[in-house]
Amino acid sequence: LRVDLATGREAVLAEDPDYDLAKVVADPETLEPQSVVFLADRERWVHLDTALGAEIDALRARLRGEVGISRSVRSDRRWLITDIPSDGPAHYHVYDRDTGELTFL
């Protein structure tokens, strides 16, 4: 939900009638929501930013489990990725957005 503080006008950015919102992926500089995740049987991603969404989907296709993304650096060129498979421990990677390299830690 986006609320215009000047007018009070509300706009729904994403919703699911059956599942709860699990997380929001936001731009680290502007804090603008870019993707949201609903908690169904498996995480269901909805991308508000289609370019970033394509990158996240390609990254998720390379991993086995549910994916967590930490984007705390404002340059946003490297992400800490958590890959949580259903049948084992979490794996951690650094993802370099410039090269596409995914480095296991």
Residue with tokens 């296991």: 104
What is the number of other CB atoms lying within 10 angstroms of the CB of residue 26? Answer: 16
Measured in degrees and rounded to the nearest 5, phi and psi for residue 22 equal: -100, -40
Q: How does DSSP classify residue 100?
A: -
At 61-83, the pLDDT tens digits run: 999 999 999 987 788 999 999 99
- Measured CA to CA, the distance from residue 56 to residue 4 in angstroms comes to 28
Rounded Cα distance, 92 and 105, in Å: 6
Segment 52-61 shows an average pLDDT of 97
Q: What is the mean pLDDT of the chain?
A: 95
Phi, psi of 49 (to 5 degrees): -110, 110
Residue ranges of domains in the chain: 2-104
- Assessment of whether the complete model's pTM goes beyond 0.75: yes
Reported confidence tier of residue 89, pLDDT bands at 50, 70, 90: very high
Q: What percent of the chain has pLDDT over 70?
A: 100
What's residue 72's pLDDT? Answer: 77
Q: What is the pLDDT at residue 99?
A: 97
